């Protein structure tokens, strides 16, 4: 077999496997509760929604059409539908041929709307797009529930861009700037100021580099997520190999800055643009490849949501895990044990 045919065959095999995993995750029986979080939910981010009676939690995760999960206690989850009826929006499927599902959605709430940024790509490719959908409600039974797709926000082109347009995360800083972060491998993590009216980059807005791993051959950094805490902005990122089951080396790192656009430094002062990052969560005997995190903040506390492999249930693929997050006296985040264990 010649090299070109071998590469094409290998790519087709990997794509088929990923498509199968996405299908299984997204179309699990919605009538079955997700006790112990034992179902595939890669790349999660979430929000807390207060009602008159209680607080509900929603998580968006990688899958065909973007899967939404709902919980009343952060321990037991059920499927709450999909953002799109089709695997990917038509426009994204046309721009990214061969894609099978939506990756790494970012769910947040601002000014009366839920913003869901999402990425569409194929495995190992730099030809990627980030899109945006908005909704007034996350409750499918609400009269206000209707997802509006606003289309393309950012794209990346091989030989043109030094970034990969996946893993979006939107954040509004203390000065009211709307900032979109993204990036995976290549030139690292980027950010740009967006228009609050459209959710898309402002005209002539400058793309800013915020973190990278120039000191490594793989440049394996992705999944930015930013929060604010007591005078500092904290940039979370994930390093190394995300998707190799028991052999995964994924981990969560963090740095902080007085400005949301950086420069971010870790606990010893090493800039994240130069490969710095303080490890927050990494492999243990049971949990492998924890990473691609979001943070849910409420009046009652903060929780890190992320995916991980369970060594006792590897067949479940990357499961959703929720951990309490607290702060050291020096002002650095730390996470506790999982709220639910299969």
Q: What is the DSSP letter of 22?
A: H
- Looking at the domain assignment, is residue 340 inside a domain? no
Residue 252 lies in a domain: yes
270 within domain boundaries: yes
How far is the first Cα of the chain from the last one, in angstroms, to the nearest whole number?
Answer: 44
Residue 314 structure tokens: 């590897």
Q: Cα(92)–Cα(90) distance, rounded to whole angstroms?
A: 5
Assign residue 295 the CATH number of its domain: 2.115.10.20
139 is catalytic: no
- DSSP bridge pairs for 236: 225, 254
Residue 123 has pLDDT above 90, yes or no: no
Q: Is the pLDDT of residue 1 over 70?
A: no
DSSP symbol at 275: T
Residue 79 is part of which domain span?
3-335
Q: What is the pLDDT of residues 131-141, one digit of tens each?
A: 999 999 999 99
Whether 341 is covered by a domain: the verdict is no
Q: What is the pTM of this model?
A: 0.89
Question: Which entry of 78, 222, 266, 310 is annotated as an active-site residue?
Answer: 222
Q: Which of 43, 78, 240, 266 is catalytic?
A: 43
Q: Is 310 a catalytic residue?
A: no
Bridge partners of residue 232, in order along the sequence = 229
The CA angle 287-296-71, to the nearest 5 degrees, is 80
Residues listed for the chain? 342
Residue 167 domain-assigned (yes or no): yes
Q: How many domains does the chain have?
A: 1
Q: What pLDDT, in 10s, does the model give residues 7-45?
A: 443 443 443 333 334 333 333 333 333 333 335 799 999
Is residue 152 in a domain? yes
């Amino acid at each position: 077999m010649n090299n070109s045919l071998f590469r094409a065959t290998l790519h087709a095999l990997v794509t088929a496997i990923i498509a199968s995993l996405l299908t299984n995750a997204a179309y699990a029986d919605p009538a079955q509760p997700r006790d112990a979080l034992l179902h595939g939910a890669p790349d999660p981010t979430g929000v807390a929604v207060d009602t008159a009676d209680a607080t509900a939690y929603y998580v968006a995760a990688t899958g065909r059409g973007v899967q939404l999960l709902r919980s009343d206690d952060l321990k037991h989850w059920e499927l709450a539908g999909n953002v799109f009826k089709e695997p990917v929006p038509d426009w994204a499927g046309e721009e990214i041929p061969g894609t099978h599902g939506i990756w790494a959605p970012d769910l947040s709430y601002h000014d009366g709307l839920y913003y869901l940024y999402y990425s569409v790509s194929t495995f190992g490719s730099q030809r990627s797009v980030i899109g945006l959908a908005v909704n007034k409600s996350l409750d499918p039974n609400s009269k206000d529930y209707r997802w509006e797709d606003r289309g393309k926000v950012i794209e990346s082109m091989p030989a043109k861009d030094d970034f990969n347009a996946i893993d979006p995360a939107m954040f509004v800083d203390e000065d009211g700037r709307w900032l979109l972060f993204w990036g995976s491998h290549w030139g690292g993590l980027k950010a740009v100021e967006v228009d609050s009216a459209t959710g898309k980059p402002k005209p002539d807005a400058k793309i800013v580099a915020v973190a990278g791993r120039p000191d490594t051959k793989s440049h394996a950094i992705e999944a930015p997520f930013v929060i604010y805490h007591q005078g500092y902005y904290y940039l979370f990122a994930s390093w190394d190999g995300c998707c190799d089951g028991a052999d995964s080396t994924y981990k969560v790192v963090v740095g902080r800055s007085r400005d949301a656009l950086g420069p971010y430094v870790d606990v010893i002062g090493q800039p994240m643009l130069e490969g710095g990052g303080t490890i927050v969560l990494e492999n243990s005997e049971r949990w492998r490849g924890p990473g691609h995190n979001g943070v849910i903040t409420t009046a009652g506390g903060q929780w890190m949501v992320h995916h991980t492999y369970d060594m006792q249930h590897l067949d479940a693929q990357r499961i959703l895990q929720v951990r309490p997050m607290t702060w050291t006296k020096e002002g650095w985040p730390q996470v506790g044990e999982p709220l639910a264990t299969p």
